[in-house]
Structure 1
């Protein structure tokens, strides 16, 4: 999505000692999303530049998590509200030559000697910034799948007052700034082979790798039906309140790795902790949320069951993406007593 971005010509009122003349300063920036710099945890900021001018927003990086703000308990109609103060700063600068990303974020963290700042205006306490986050989703591909590629953070302003060497400049509002962060990858191909645990009246199938896991929880009756030794035709059941598909992201698996015991424990361990969960939408008709199992006999007493999920949409609050229309969850083998 392309967002038009430009700073309009804003009226600047200087409350000088003598005549209080009105001056005008032009804020004009290109249409690209803002860049960012994070040489260390305390110096994260985002910036917009054009030629010799820069607008800098110094604020905590945690304000740009990939969580849709309309889904959280936020103020101002689904936007995070931040007071402009010593922790959240808005700065306008003019340099004596054109600016590059290296100017704003030097590789070694030491500001370059050139170009130099010739003018700086800082917003004083009292104004506000609002951050509204929305997901950007890809178009459906040939296999029917979509994915969330990135998150768009739109930062708007109100009641902004800049302090200058000559006085103050009050702007009721400024045009918004956009900043993009990449979405976590949905990698299903490298997950482990399907593992199985028996739960109370349910069967849990799971696959995992590093900090991600896909689980399919089936009712005992549906699991018995799907993994029966009937090889005559595909067997079908549907996602619902008992048959639940989840895709989970975990935190700090480098310290507490995922294991089979994590999924098979009677009481789910506290660590590693779950960051967030995507859940497959329940079936609404015979064509959506389908769990299909095709069984073939591979030996006298051995049967292979291939699990395919058809037309499944994964959702997390207001966000969603589609799996491939024929998504192979994996294979399960069962045996019969000779």
Structure 2
């Protein structure tokens, strides 16, 4: 009986409290990117990905998307208008939360973390015709630095395939 008591005591002493949010990775690669409105390159655009009770929101400032083929790199910092926000909700979230004029009262946001910096890579390819120009924009997010509400810094997160959006 003493041995069993000692084993339980060791387990109890060596256990730790994981009450703080621990983000080891952003798992959004296999989730489709969504928008609420048609993409307008002359305006800021909100793109989001939902993974059950998590959401990754990318706001691209006006004129970041272009109608020229090539690759551009946007170094997002606190002084740029483009932002990346990671939210954790109390329950599964749907696009209605982002697209309704008045968001539903449930689920609620448990934590919201705004990225301090990141590298946004956008590769644009012409896919339309001369008469109907259309462009595909493939977006990657690299070197994301998050700072949690308890001042923990999480660096070098990435979403290799944020998604592809189309403009015309």
- If the length of structure 1 is used for normalisation, what is the TM-score? 0.39
Q: 1:303 to 1:248 in 2, by over 3 A?
A: same
RMSD, aligned CA: 3.1
Q: CA deviation at 1:274?
A: 0.7
Structure 2 residue 4 is the aligned partner of structure 1 residue 99: yes
What's the counterpart of residue 309 of structure 1? 141
Whether the 8 Å contact between 1:249 and 1:276 is mirrored in structure 2 is yes
Equivalent of 1:322, from 149, 155, 161?
155
User: CA–CA distance in 1 between the matches of 2:124 and 2:134?
Assistant: 10
User: CA–CA distance in 2 between the matches of 1:306 and 1:290?
Assistant: 14
Q: CA deviation at 1:326?
A: 7.5
User: CA–CA distance in 2 between the matches of 1:186 and 1:306?
Assistant: 21
Give the alignment of 1:88-237 within 5 angstroms: 96-99=1-4, 179-181=16-18, 183=22, 186-189=25-28, 192-198=31-37, 202-219=44-61, 221=62, 225-234=63-72, 236=74
Equivalent of 1:252, from 88, 91, 94?
91
What's the counterpart of residue 40 of structure 2? none
- If the length of structure 2 is used for normalisation, what is the TM-score? 0.72
Q: 1:197 to 1:278 in 2, by over 3 A?
A: same
Secondary structure of 1:179's partner? coil
- The structure with the larger Rg is 1
Give the alignment of 1:59-98 within 5 angstroms: 96-98=1-3
Q: Which runs of 5+ in 1 are unaligned?
A: 1-95, 105-175, 283-288
Whether the 8 Å contact between 1:310 and 1:327 is mirrored in structure 2 is yes
Whether the 8 Å contact between 1:194 and 1:205 is mirrored in structure 2 is yes
Q: Which runs of 5+ in 2 are unaligned?
A: 38-42
Higher RCO (Cα < 8 Å, 6 or more apart): 2
Structure 2 residue 76 is the aligned partner of structure 1 residue 238: yes
Q: 1:322 to 1:99 in 2, by over 3 A?
A: same
Could you report, residue by residue, the CA deviation over 1:159-196 in whole angstroms, capped at 9, with x for unpaired residues? xxxxxxxxxxxxxxxxx976143846644245531112
Q: CA deviation at 1:235?
A: 5.0
Q: 1:237 to 1:248 in 2, by over 3 A?
A: same
Structure 2 residue 135 is the aligned partner of structure 1 residue 293: no
Secondary structure of 1:312's partner? strand
What is the aligned residue count?
153
Whether the 8 Å contact between 2:36 and 2:99 is mirrored in structure 1 is yes
Q: 1:264 to 1:325 in 2, by over 3 A?
A: closer
